[in-house]
Structures are given as C-alpha cells and as structure tokens.
Structure 1
C-alpha cells in the first residue's frame, strides 16, 4: 500500500483552478519533493491532502484513509508543518510540546527534546519574543517529535540559517531511513535535490512531470566550458549532441547531450588549457519545464 495515493484529485476555485486532476503515488520510506513557483498550487494540494480543504473532484488516501471523510485519523498519523506557520505568542516551545503529547494520549516528548537540542531551540522563551527562524524550529520539532508515519512539510527550512537547514535535512533523511515517508514542498530546489529520490513539478495546478531526480538531470544537457591552448582544428558546434555553442577566441561554451566519449574523442588531438563538463541541476530541469510553458491566461488563478 502506498502512503499517499491520489486519483484525479481536484480543488477548484472560481474563476480558475487551484489543483486539477492530481494523480500521484508516494511509497513508504520515500522522500518526495513537490516543487513549483509561488502560485502553482503546492499549498492548495497540501491543504487538500490534509483534509483542510474539501476536494471538488477525485479522491485521495493517506495510509489507506480518505483524506476528507477520515481526516481525524489522517491527522493522528501525520506530522504536518504548514507554510504559513502560526503559533500562540504567549506560549513557550516546552508548553506546546507538552500540550502536543497530551493531545496524543500521553506520548513521550523524549525525541522532541532531542530534536530541540539539535536545532539549538530555546524551549522556555515565549514565542512572541522569538525570531521567525526560531519559531520555524518549533514548527519542525512539533511535526517530527512523535515520529509519525508520514511527514507533510510545506517549506520546512523557510527562515532558517544554512547550518540549521542542514540539521533539518539530516532529520528528514533519518526519518526515511526508519521507513517513514516525507512529502516535502520547497522552492529551494538545491535542498530538494540533496534529499529527494523523486520529484513532481506542478504548474498552474497541473502535475506536469514526476520522475527521479537522477532522470530529471539526465534528460538535460551538460554545460561545456573549455579553453584551447592554440586555435582549434575541430568545430565543436558542428558535433552531434552540441547545442548553444559559442566560440570566443580560444574559449568555447556550449550544452552537450549524451555521454562524454564522443566529445572527448573530438578533443583528443587538441591542446587544452582547461576543460569542464558540468551536469545540469534540478533547478535547470525545473527552469527547462517552465520555459516550455505557453502564455499565461488572464483567468488562471492558483494558490
């Protein structure tokens, strides 16, 4: 059984579309990245999965439970971090953790205290006195502390400094290593690339591509940059597999598709001062998908 299973899931807003016909499966122990620009429909999809919004079409199940009809059971088994985190300003992190344990029938706070230590969270300070980053640490702690079977996290590293971001990503890897599932929405594509096995790109409410991160990168050209030691005899721009070739004196830049063997053979008789062949990133794949988008319709509206 997949942890997340949707079929034609839709949440429509007048006059346009929030999420339309989302069909997706996410397995146990997987870290799945859900990416798209602001307004693409990421948050609407997540709030529908959590049962905060009633679907207008299709269906979705989390751990076998209907996300709308059985949302109480879904909430019991999911650790959720919203993108617009709001916490009571007159409480401390320790008080919120204690309340969370009580609501879960006296669950232990031991792992939450361990997370708080690793995040260097001030447990007894009032939330109203804390920075956005420190409040985000509390949200992460509350989502993870009970070791839920599924984590649904909307921009979990928002407002965190780079070292704390690394700690959060390490915690998510540990969750997956324990067989738990992570559904991660983020606009920081480099962090999704570091931890996700698969990603889905959403555009204007439509899930346009789901694939492994490795396959995304492999589908794109590698960036070639080199400097010849003397004027070359080879015309690199004419090679099959080379596009966007630009020669400037002894310098050459271009985009290469395919394995490197043919390119290396073409350069074998040349003298080089420098050479680099850099794989494309998830961000390159993301931008490639969005460059292919047609003009946006005036009536389009997503959240």
Structure 2
C-alpha cells in the first residue's frame, strides 16, 4: 500500500484551479520527484498534503489517514522542509532545532543531531537573525533528518545551499531511503531529481502531464548523437524524428527521437562511420521538451 496517495485531488481558489485532478502515490522506501516551474501547483499540492489547505475535490491520504481530518496524527510521523524557512530571530539555531524535534514528540536522537550539525558545517550557537538563507535552510534540514520520520516532504529544500551542502543533503536523502523511509521531493534542480528519485511526476498548470520511473519516461525524449563519417551524410534533415542538426565538415551532432533511432543509425552507416557517440536522454531533455511543446501550442512556457 502507498504511504502517500492522492486521487483526483483538486484545489480551487475562487475560479482559479491551482491543482487539477492530481493522482500521485509514494511507496515505502521510495524517493518521488515532484517537478515543475514556479506556479505549476507543487506547493499548493504539498500544503493540501500537510493539512494546511483543504482540498476542493478528491482525496488525499498519508499512512492511510485523511490528510485534513487526521493531520495531527500524520504529523507525528512526517518531517517537512519548506523552501523558505522563517525562524525566531532571538533563538539560536540549536534551540530552534531542539524545538522542532520536541514538537514532533518522541525521544530526541542527540547523537544524530550532532552528526548532522557536523555534516552541514553548521554553527548552532548563533542567533537566527544572523543566519543567511542557506543557514536557515540548514536548521530545517537538520531538524528533519534528525527526527525518526517515516515520510519526508521536502519542498525546494536546497534553496540557498552551496553545491557542497547540496551534496550533503543528497547523502541524507539516500541514507533515509536505504533505511526504508519515503521521500516526496519537490525541486526545480533537475540533476538533483535525476540522481535521487526512483520515480517522477511532472506538473504543469496544475495537472500531472507525465509520471513514472526515469527509464519509463526516456522513450519520450531524444537521444543525442555525435557522428563523424568518411563521406558527407545527405538527406538527413528530411528524416522523421531528426532534430537540431549541426554540421562541421564530416562531423555533425543531432538529436533523434528514440522511436526513430534505428532508422537514423541505418541511414548514417551508409556513409562510413568513423566515430559515433551516443548520450542518453536526461530528465532535463524530457522536461524542456514538454514545455517547448506547450509554448509552441500557445500554452505557458
């Protein structure tokens, strides 16, 4: 059974439909990537899951409990990190971490707390009013990963972190997954999602437009080819599924729709292949292809 599940989840603000008939599920021991641009509906969905907003239609449950009616019970077993953390200015970072952990109830894992403070290179003795955005984010991340949660809901959690701390965050997510914990990760950093997530859902204008594992979604993307041949390749631009051809003497680079790759390779081989390099499609390729398509058809880009 899924730890987190939505069925036809819809949220209206007046006449504006911020979230439209969303169906997602997060399984035990899984990292689920929830991606889309600002305004797509990610944070609204997460606020409904946290019991901060009431859904207009549809269902949402965590641990088999209704997210609105059983929010207090659910919060005892989840940890949440927002993308913009507001803290009490006159408390120290360490005091806020302890407060967050006590609010969840249960025993405090002081050893884990100290381990994470060291990993994130964080000074817990300073007042929160002196912290940069990145350090405020560390407070929330340390409190979350030091808690014994079954589900982590992370909404743009690395906002303000430097690349070294982003790597530390990624290690924490992978450790949680290895322990059988589940993670819902909302992020605009596609390389981060690609590295961490078992499955992804792409949201646009309040709707899930694609979901599945990265392997399942790669058939929708294009393979990048770099080719060098003995003779100049002809008639390539007219072939089905070929895009963005760039020529330089006997070498060229191009993108090929996966379903047309076999035909294109057969055509190229007639001209005496000297070198052929292939790069698999990335999550960014998939993401940008969807938004390029929306822009071309008159939708939002």
TM (normalized to structure 1)?
Answer: 0.89
Q: 1:109 to 1:265 in 2, by over 3 A?
A: same
- Give the Cα–Cα distance (whole angstroms) in 2 for the partners of residues 175 and 196 of structure 1: 12
Map of 2:165 onto structure 1: 164
Give the 3 Å change call, closer, same or farther, for CA 100–216 of structure 1 in structure 2.
same
Shift of 1:233: 5.8
Larger RCO (CA under 8 A, 6+ residues apart):
1
C-alpha separation in 1, matches of 2:180 and 2:155: 20
CA distance in 1, matches of 2:233, 2:69: 70
How many angstroms does 1:268 deviate by? 4.8
Residue 266 of structure 1 deviates from its aligned partner by: 4.7
Judge conservation of contact 1:237–1:246 (CA < 8 Å) in 2.
Answer: no
Q: Which runs of 5+ in 2 are unaligned?
A: none
Greater mean alpha carbon deviation, residues 255-264 or residues 119-128: 255-264
Kindly indicate whether the alpha-carbon contact (under 8 Å) linking 2:3 and 2:64 is maintained by their aligned counterparts in 1: yes
Shift of 1:129: 0.9
Aligned to 1:182: 183
Equivalent positions of 1:41-56 (< 5 A) are 41-56=41-56
Q: 1:203 to 1:240 in 2, by over 3 A?
A: closer
Pair 105,196 (structure 1): closer, same or farther in 2 beyond 3 Å: closer
Comparing 37-46 with 134-143, which one deviates more in the overlay? 134-143
Looking at structure 2, the residues matched to 179 and 136 of structure 1 have their Cα atoms a distance apart, in angstroms, of 24
Q: Aligned ranges for residues 243-282 of structure 1 at < 5 Å?
A: 243-256=243-256, 257-258=258-259, 266-268=267-269, 270=271, 274-282=275-283
1:84-129 deviation per Cα after TM superposition (whole angstroms, max 9, x unaligned): 2111121112112222343314433321221111111111111111
- What's the counterpart of residue 15 of structure 1? 15
Q: CA deviation at 1:59?
A: 1.2
CA shift in 2, pair 1:101/1:222, >3 Å: closer
Structure 1 residue aligned with 2:2 = 2
Partner residue of 2:57? 57
Decide whether the 8 Å contact of 2:83 with 2:158 is kept in 1: no
Judge conservation of contact 2:211–2:217 (CA < 8 Å) in 1.
no
**2:149 counterpart SS class:** coil
CA contact (8 A) 2:97 2:140 kept: no
Instruction: Quickly say closer, same or farther: Cα 1:295–1:243, change in 2 above 3 A.
Output: closer
TM-score (ref. length: structure 2)? 0.90
Task: Return closer, same or farther for 1:265/1:56 CA change in 2, 3 Å cut-off.
Answer: closer
Structure 1 residues 82 and 53: CA distance shift in structure 2, 3 A: same
Counterpart-to-counterpart distance in 2, 1:102 and 1:250: 66
| Distance in structure 2 (CA, Å) of the matches to 1:168 and 1:278 | 27
- Provide the aligned length of Structure 1 versus Structure 2: 296
CA contact (8 A) 1:97 1:109 kept: no
- Write the distance in 2 (CA, Å) between the matches of 1:124 and 1:238: 65
Residue 83 of structure 2 aligns to a residue in which SS? coil
User: Could you give the per-residue CA deviations for residues 141-190 of structure 1, whole angstroms, max 9, x where no partner exists?
Assistant: 11221120000000111111111101101100110110000000001111
What's the CA shift for 1:218? 3.3
8 A contact 1:18–1:44 mirrored in 2: yes
Determine the structure 2 residue equivalent to 1:73. 73
Aligned partner of 1:95 in structure 2 is 95
Q: CA RMSD in A?
A: 2.2
> Equivalents in 1 of 2:260, 2:195: separation in Å?
23
